[in-house]
């Protein structure tokens, strides 16, 4: 049958751990000398920015964001401290998806073209 991942206990545990992480991050903000527990990982903040490729079909947004050999994207990631990923329809070359049949398809491939920005802090986002 497989491993069940959407059980009532699992959802309750996820809710409790999320609340715990929020409380710990709040305590860190209020008291900078507070030492978080060793298993605490700060939650990643995400922001999704849609690329207006339908309004401007002749404009190469992906090329502008990535830049030559990915240098523009790497520079932006280094300056901001955030991870920048292009996702959605048209973000992956046609031949790339058929080569890896064992890998599960990404659910964001069916969405419109967008940039996903992940960061640890609100300032970096």
Nearest-10 Cα torsion for 60, 96, 83, 64: -10
Q: Can you tell me the distance from the alpha carbon of 21 to that of 71, in angstroms, rounded to the nearest whole number?
A: 35
What Rg do the C-alpha atoms of the chain give, in angstroms? Answer: 19
The string of pLDDT tens digits covering residues 52-99 is 988 988 888 888 999 999 999 999 999 999 999 999 887 777 666 555
Domain ranges of the chain: 1-41, 44-125
Class of domain 44-125 (CATH, top level)? alpha beta
CB atoms within 10 A of CB 38: 5
Its pTM stands at: 0.67
Q: Can you tell me the distance from the alpha carbon of 85 to that of 92, in angstroms, rounded to the nearest whole number?
A: 11
């Amino acid at each position: 049958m497989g491993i069940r991942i959407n059980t009532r206990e699992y959802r309750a545990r996820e809710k409790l751990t999320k609340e715990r992480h929020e409380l710990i991050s709040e305590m860190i903000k209020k008291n900078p000398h507070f030492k978080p527990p060793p298993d605490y990982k700060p939650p990643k903040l995400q922001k999704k920015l849609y690329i207006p490729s339908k309004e401007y079909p002749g404009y190469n947004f992906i090329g502008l964001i990535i830049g030559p050999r990915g240098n523009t994207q790497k520079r932006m990631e280094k300056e901001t401290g955030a991870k920048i990923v292009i996702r959605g329809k048209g973000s992956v070359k046609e031949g790339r998806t058929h080569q890896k049949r064992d890998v599960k398809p990404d659910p964001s491939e069916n969405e419109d073209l967008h940039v996903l920005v992940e960061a640890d802090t609100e300032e970096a986002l």
